[in-house]
Amino acid sequence: MNKQLTLDHADAALEFNKNEAKVDWHDETLWFVRTKRDRAVAQIPEWEQLREAASQIKNYGLSNMHDLLIQFEENAIRNGIKIHWAADGDEHNAIILDIIKQAGANRMVKSKSMLTEECHLNQFLTDKRIEVIDSDLGERIVQMRGEPPSHIVLPAIHLTKAEVGETFHEHLGTDKGATDPQYLTEAARQHLRETFLTRKVALTGVNFAIAETGGFVVCTNEGNADMGVHLADVHIAAMGFEKIIPRAEHLSVFLRLLARSATGQPITTFSSHFHRPRPGQEMHIVIVDNGRSRQLGRPDFRNSLKCIRCAACLNTCPVYRRSGGFSYHSAVAGPIGSILAPNLDMKQNADLPFASTLCGSCSNVCPVKIDIHDQLYKWRQVLMKEGYGPGSKTVAMKAMATVLESPRLYRMAGKVGRGVLRFAPITVENGLNPWYTQREMPEPPAESFHDWYVNHKKA
C-alpha cells in the first residue's frame, strides 16, 4: 500500500491492473452504482432544475463567503457552539488534539470525514498516543488494514468479501474464511458498540453548514455519527469552509441531489441536524482553509469548491474504475480529486489531471454542475507552463508541433511511421512504449488518407 502511494498515477494503475479479474469486478461494481444513480434521476422530472438551483446557490456562497462565514460563526456562538479557525491541516490537527486533552480523554470515535483524511488526522493523533476508532463500517475496515479510503462514499470498494473476511478474522476473531455479509456486519456492530459506549469525545464531518441558523447537517447511512455524538460528552465537527450554504430552505435542494447522485437512494438514511449542544455537552466546530482560499481565488478552478462529495464523478469515470482509488495518491481520488489536489501541491500532484480521457462524463453527472473535464484540461495547461510536466512530454509536443506545422514533414513522418510498423514492428511493440503495454498496435494502412484522396481524385 505505501509503495503504491509513492508511485505516479500511471505506474500505480499498472500495479492495480495486474489483477485483471479484480479490475473487472471493481469496474462493474462502480458502474452498477452509476446505473442506480441513473434510475433514481430518471424518476425526478425536475432533476436538471435542481442541479441548476444547487449550482447557483453554491455560486452565491462562493461569491459571498466572507459574509456567510461571519454570519455562521455569530449564530453558532449564539447557540452555544465553540468555533475554531484553522489555516491549514496542521492547525486543524492541533486544535482537535487540544480539545481532546482539555476533555481529559485519550480515545476518540470518529465518523466519516474526508477533511480529516486530507489533514492526516488519524496518524497525527496516533503519534500523540490518542486512540482513534473510525465508526463508519467501510472506514473501519480500511483502518484495520492500515489503508486510507479508496473512494469518497465507498471507502472499501477496492476489497472483495474474502479480503474483508480475512481482515475481520485477523482483527475481530471471526471465523476463518467467513464471507457472509450479515455475519461480518454483526461482528463489526458488536465491536463498535463498545466503542460508542466508552468514548467521551466524538468527531463528525459536516455535509452542510447553514449560515442563517448556525447549525449543520451530517448525512450517513449507518447512523454511526448519531450514535457517537449522542453518547459523547464532546462533539467536534470538522468542516472545510466551502460547506457553507446561505439558508436552511436550501437544504431541500441538496438533500434531494446528494443521495441519488452518490448511491441511487432517494435520501440518505440519516440526515442529522445539529444546532446546539445538549445540556452538559460541549460542541466545537473547526472551520478549515487548507488551500481553499487559494482555490477560491483561481477563476478557472473556483467552481471545484462547489463539490458536495457525492462521488458520482468517480463512479462514472472509466479511468478511476479501472485504475483504483490508490493510484491517485490523494485523500480525494477520481476526477474531482484530480482538480483539487494540484491546488494543494502542484509538483506532487502534477500527474493527476492527465489521468483522464476528458470524455466529460464526470461533468454530466455532477449534481452541482462543476465543469470537471474543462478544469482537468486547464490544469494540464497550468502545470506544463509552470514546469511541472515531464520533460519528455515537452520535447515530444515541440517535435509534434514542428511536424504538424509542415505538410511536407507531416507526410514524410506518416510514410516513415507506416514503414516502421510494417517492416520493423519491434521498434514500437516493446516495453518502452507505454501504449503497447495495455493495447495491441493497429495494422498500418497501405497508404495515407492524403495519398488515397489524390489517387481517387485522379481516377
Domain boundaries, the chain: 44-290, 393-457
Termini Cα distance of the chain: 62
The torsion angles phi and psi of 346, rounded to 5 degrees, stand at: -60, -45
CATH of domain 44-290: 3.40.50.10420
Compute the half-sphere exposure of residue 165: CA atoms within 13 Å on the CB side of its CA: 12
More confident residue, 444 or 117: 117
Q: Which of 59, 30, 117, 423 is nearest to 244 (CA)?
A: 59
C-beta of residue 243 within 8 angstroms of C-beta of residue 48:
no
pLDDT at 236: 98
Report how far residue 333's alpha carbon sits from residue 338's, in angstroms, rounded to the nearest whole number.
7
Helix (H, G, I), strand (E, B) or coil at 236: strand
pLDDT at 7: 82
pLDDT tens figures, 58-104: 999 999 999 999 999 999 999 999 999 999 999 999 999 999 999 99
User: Helix count (H) and strand count (E) of the chain?
Assistant: 23, 10
**Average pLDDT for the chain:** 94
Strand intervals (E) in 113-261: 131-134, 201-204, 208-210, 215-220, 234-240, 244-245
Mean pLDDT of 250-268: 96
Q: Is a pLDDT exceeding 60 seen at residue 2?
A: no
Mean pLDDT of 179-198: 91
Q: Is a pLDDT exceeding 60 seen at residue 125?
A: yes
pLDDT tens figures, 409-437: 999 998 998 888 888 888 888 877 877 77
pTM above 0.85, yes or no: yes
Report how far residue 61's alpha carbon sits from residue 7's, in angstroms, rounded to the nearest whole number.
37
